[in-house]
Amino acid sequence: MRIGVDGRKIPEAAQRGPVDSLDHGKSFGIGGLFYRTVLDMSPTLDRGELRAIRQRADELGMYVETGLGKVNPYASPEAPELRRAGDGDIVLGFRRMMEACVEIGCTDLWIATANYKTVYAGKWAYDRFRTDVTWAEQLAATEGFLHKLAPIARDLGIHMNMETHEEITTFELLRLIEAVGEDVMGVVLDTLNPMQRGEHPVWAARRVAPYVRQTHIKDAYLAHVPGGITIQARACGDGVIDFGEVLKVLAAHNATVNLSLECAGPRDASFVPRHTLIEVFEPDWLANHPDLTIEEYAAFLELVHTYARRIASGEVPTWDQYVAAPFGYDESIATIKKSTAHLRAICSELNLPLEAAP
């Protein structure tokens, strides 16, 4: 295992670019970068640019991970660059991205199903609750598209790793893997996102652990608010997740999986505080999660109840206190360092393999 950072969330990623971000990460001790898509590395799939990133990472002893994009045909219009990569043919665009990734030694590639809509509140922020197309129809279309990509992935020796994203449950994700084939599909475990579907983070990790090949690591603040429960990303150790259990589960199946932190980046002038509302007590929300058992639902709510004591004691800042405090470059770097230290301490305590920082 190595601890790195999501390439979009490392501070100053846009200003520095993908190569300089590697040097930036090395300066504060991270082990690699997870560029969300290969188009983040080079929008034109320029082989010279991609090789330069790979070469610099190798020189620094850092890992490079990357991905493709959203594979839900109802969401792909929101990412026109995917179709553009194939000159209008989106399947060709994915083929070209896969081929470019293989050329720089990246064969585990991130995919996901939809986009969280920050401008909307509650269930309307999630494509799961769209009214123009059902979630079942979206899953069926996603499976159909994955079947088109699977032969390409097999030919190239690629695993398309689907993220436990905000809108999909781990149960649904596992059914997609079964339908398409575990020889070409895996999982990117985002440790926070399953909670947006009412899943307990350790229970969710146990379900998907046999297939986890990449990660997005972050902790979560959970609290009751009018209409349901709010969730907010926090530094590892400051939230509800028992990373000792999560890392034990992951290591039992893949002791070399990289731990890529997805910490909050610096806030700019456009930042508007807005609750991420999980409407876990609404009848239609509950009906939309038929796989969620009463036992797991209760365990999830117990996390909220237990964490409330930490909030009340002042051990962790409230939602309002957190969004009111400055969060610039220094605070973002401090969050990465704090999360890294927390994960390293757990790995040391559990005698889990963890490579030293470069």
Assigned CATH class of 3-116+131-219+236-268+326-350: alpha beta
Contact 277, 122 (CB under 8 A): yes
Q: Token digits for 141?
A: 């279309």
- Identity of the residue numbered 291: D
pLDDT at 83 (0 to 100): 96
pLDDT at 95 (0 to 100): 98
pLDDT at 339 (0 to 100): 97
Which residue is it, tokens 């290591």?
A: 251
- Render pLDDT for 114-135 as a digit per residue (tens, 0 to 9): 999 988 989 999 999 999 999 9
pLDDT at 358 (0 to 100): 59
Give the CA count within 13 Å in the CB-facing half-sphere of 103: 16
- At 224, give phi and psi (nearest 5°): -70, 140
Q: Token digits for 140?
A: 């069926």
The secondary element (H helix, E strand) that includes residue 111 is strand 108-112
Burial class (CB in 10 A: 0-12, 13-18, 19+), 309: exposed
C-alpha 346/C-alpha 339 separation (Å) is: 11
Closest to 2 measured CA to CA, from 25, 21, 19:
25
pLDDT at 269 (0 to 100): 78
pLDDT at 264 (0 to 100): 84
For 215, other C-beta atoms within 10 Å of its C-beta total 29
What pLDDT tens digit does each residue of the chain (358 aa) get? 999 999 999 999 999 999 999 999 999 999 999 999 999 999 999 999 999 999 999 999 999 999 999 999 999 999 999 999 999 999 999 999 999 999 999 999 999 999 999 889 899 999 999 999 999 999 999 999 999 999 999 999 999 999 999 999 999 999 999 999 999 999 999 999 999 999 999 999 999 999 999 999 999 999 999 999 999 999 999 999 999 999 999 999 999 999 999 988 888 878 888 899 999 999 999 999 999 999 999 999 999 999 999 999 999 999 999 999 999 999 999 999 999 999 999 999 999 988 866 5
Q: Alpha-carbon dihedral of residues 247, 65, 163, 203, nearest 10 degrees?
A: -10
* 3-state class (DSSP) for residue 106: coil
C-alpha 147/C-alpha 337 separation (Å) is: 40
pTM score, two decimals? 0.96
- Identity of the residue numbered 351: N
pLDDT at 265 (0 to 100): 84
What are the b/e assignments for 114-128, b being 16+ CB within 10 Å? Answer: bbeeeeeebbebbbb
Q: Alpha-carbon dihedral of residues 90, 93, 95, 97, nearest 10 degrees?
A: -140
Give the CA count within 13 Å in the CB-facing half-sphere of 328: 3
Query: For the chain, which residues make up each domain, given as ranges?
Result: 3-116+131-219+236-268+326-350
Cα 210 to Cα 154, 165, 250, 259: the distances in Å are: 20, 18, 8, 16
